[in-house]
A and B are shown apart, each in its own frame.
Chain A
Amino acid sequence: MSKKITTTYTRMALAISAAVVGGQMATTATAAETTWAGFVENATYYRDDVGLSKFRNTAQAEFEKKLESETFRSLSINGVLRGTYDGVYDLNDKDFGKDAQESHLGANWHDADLSNMVLAPGTPFPCENDPALCNNLDGYMDQHESDAAFPEFNDQLDFVRELYVRGDLPLDNGDVFSFSLGKQQIIWGKTDLFRVLDVLNPVDYSRHNIYDELEDIRIPQWMLNATWRMGATETFDDINLSFVWNFDKFRPSNLGTCGQSYSILDAGCFFSSRINGGGPYVINDVEEPSWSLANTQFGVKWEGVYGDATFSLNALHFRQQLPSLHALPGPGDNFGLFNIEFPRVNLVGGAIDYYSMDMDAVWRLELAYTQGEELARDLNGHKETDMLRYVIGFDKNLVMPSLGTQSAFLISAQLFGEHILDHVEDMPNEEDNWIATLLFKGWYMNNRLSPQIIMAHDFGGKATAVAPSISWTPDNHWMFNLGLNVKFGGDETFGWSPVGGEKVYEPLARFTNGPIGVANQEDEIQLTVRYSF
Chain B
Amino acid sequence: MRNKTLLTLALSAVMISQAQAEVSDAVIESSFYPYKNGVPSFPGLSAGMTINQGNVDQFKDALDPAMYSFIKNGDTELKVGETTDFVLDESYIEATRKYSSGVTLGAGHGEISETVAGRPFPEEPKLDDPRAGEKLAWNFKYGYNWGDSASIYPFYWKYRDMNTGKVERTIKFNFHFLNFTHRTQHDPVPAIDPNPSEFFRGTYAEVLEPYDLKNTQLLIHRFEDDTKLDNVYLYLGFQRRVRRLSSGQTTDAFLGSDLMIEDFEGYNGRISDMNWTYKGTQNILMPMYNHNDLTNFDTEVHQNDPDGFQMVAYGGKGGCFQDITWQLRKVYVLESDPVDENHPISKRVHFIDAQTYTIPRTISYDRKGDLWRSFTIGQAHPDYHLPINKGSGVSIDDSVTMIDVQANHCTTAQFKGIVDPNLSPVDTFTVQNMRARGK
Contact = CB atoms under 8 A, between A and B. Distances in A.
Interface string A340-384: 000000000000010101011110100000000000000000000
Contacts of B242: 310
Contact of B240 (A185, A305, A360, A406): A185
A2 interface: no
Contacts of A240: 432
Contacts of A305: 430-431
Contact of B231 (A166, A235, A308, A405): A308
Contact of B253 (A166, A189, A360, A447): A447
B246 A446 contact: no
Contacts of B6: none
B228 A357 contact: yes
A360 B229 contact: yes
Nearest to A412: B243
A185 B212 CA distance: 19
A291 interface: no
B74 interface: no
B279 interface: no
Contacts of B231: 308, 355
Contact of A232 (B195, B409, B439): B195
B377 to A, nearest CB: 20
Interface string A381-410: 000000000000001111101000111100
B4 to A, nearest CB: 6
A268 to B, nearest CB: 27
A443 B256 contact: yes
B238 A227 contact: no
A448 interface: yes
B169 A397 contact: no
A289 interface: no
A234 B195 CA distance: 7
A476 interface: yes
Given A477-B210, A533-B211, A187 B241 contact: yes
A231 B1 contact: no
A235 B196 CA distance: 6
A39 interface: yes
B238 A229 contact: no
B422 to A, nearest CB: 10
B212 A479 contact: yes
Interface in B233-288: 233, 237-249, 251-253, 255-258, 260
B427 A176 contact: yes
B55 interface: no
A498 B121 CA distance: 85
A33 B432 CA distance: 25
A368 to B, nearest CB: 16
Interface in B391-439: 409, 426-427, 430-433, 436, 439
Nearest to B438: A187
A355 B246 contact: yes
* Chain B CB within 10 Å, residue with most, of A192, A233, A408: A408
A397 B439 CA distance: 25
B228 A231 contact: no
Given A227-B436, A236-B196, A401 B431 contact: no
Given A176-B427, A396-B246, A447-B253, A476 B170 contact: yes
A361 B243 CA distance: 12
Contacts of B430: 229, 231-232, 237-238, 305
B432 A401 contact: no
Interface string A301-326: 00101011010000000000000000
Nearest to B407: A446
Interface string A221-262: 000000101011111111010000000000000000000000
Given A406-B344, A446-B168, A448-B168, A233 B249 contact: no
Interface string B214-238: 1000000100000011010100011
B197 interface: yes
A274 interface: no
A349 to B, nearest CB: 15
A362 B256 contact: no
Interface in A24-54: 35, 37-39
Given A229-B436, A308-B231, A443-B256, A399 B196 contact: no
A398 B344 CA distance: 13
A447 B216 CA distance: 15
B243 A395 contact: yes
Contact of A476 (B1, B210, B240, B436): B210
Contacts of A307: 197
A398 to B, nearest CB: 6
A126 B121 CA distance: 80
* Chain B CB within 10 Å, residue with most, of A38, A234, A307: A234
The list of the 7 closest CB pairs from A to B, nearest first, reads A447-B256, A360-B248, A532-B211, A408-B252, A446-B256, A476-B210, A362-B244
21 contacts: A37-B211, A78-B439, A176-B427, A227-B436, A229-B430, A229-B436, A231-B430, A232-B430, A233-B194, A234-B196, A237-B221, A237-B430, A308-B231, A310-B244, A357-B248, A359-B246, A395-B245, A397-B252, A443-B253, A532-B210, A533-B211
Interface of A: 35, 37-39, 62, 78, 166, 168, 176, 178, 185, 187, 189-190, 192, 213-215, 227, 229, 231-238, 240, 303, 305, 307-308, 310, 353, 355, 357, 359-362, 364, 395-399, 401, 405-408, 443, 445-448, 473-477, 479, 532-533
